[in-house]
Chain A
Amino acid sequence: MSEQPLWQQIQQGGISTNPGSTDRIQTGDWRTEVPVIDFERCTHCMICWVDCPDASFEVADTKLIGVDLKHCKGCGICAQVCPTKCIEMVPDSAADRDTNASANGAG
Chain B
Amino acid sequence: MTLKLRELSLKPDLFGNGHGLCAGCAESISVRQILSALENPPVVALATGCLEVSTTRFPDTTWKVPVIHSAFENSATTISGVEAAYKALVRKGRMEARPLTFVVFAGDGATYDIGFQWLSGALERGHKFIYICLNNEGYMNTGIQRSSATLLGAWTTTTPSGSVRPGKTQWHKDMTKIVAAHGIPYVAQAASHNWKDLMTKVRKAEQADGPAFINVLTPCDRGWRYEPDQTMEVSKLMVEAGLWPLYEVVNGKWKMTGARQKRRPVIDALLSQKRFSHITKNADDATIAAIQAKVDDEWDALQALCAMSAASE
Contacts and interface: CB of A to CB of B under 8 A. Distances in A.
A52 B228 CA distance: 12
Contacts of B21: 53
Given A59-B9, A75-B228, A50 B16 contact: no
B55 interface: yes
A75 B60 contact: no
B232 interface: yes
A6 to B, nearest CB: 12
A18 interface: yes
Interface stretch (B24-32, B86-94, B166-174, B255-263): B24-32
Interface residues of B, number: 44
Contacts of A104: none
A75 B195 contact: no
Contacts, number: 128
B18 A27 contact: yes
A15 to B, nearest CB: 9
A20 B65 CA distance: 9
A41 interface: no
B59 interface: yes
Contacts of A76: 24, 227-229
B17 A54 contact: yes
Interface of A: 4-5, 10, 14, 16, 18-27, 30-31, 44-47, 49-56, 59, 61-62, 68, 71, 73-77, 79-81, 89
Interface of B: 5-10, 13, 15-29, 32-33, 36, 55-65, 195, 227-233
26 contacts: A14-B58, A16-B60, A20-B61, A21-B60, A21-B61, A22-B20, A23-B18, A27-B18, A49-B5, A50-B32, A51-B195, A51-B232, A53-B23, A53-B25, A53-B29, A53-B32, A53-B231, A55-B17, A62-B6, A71-B17, A71-B18, A73-B22, A73-B24, A77-B29, A79-B229, A89-B229
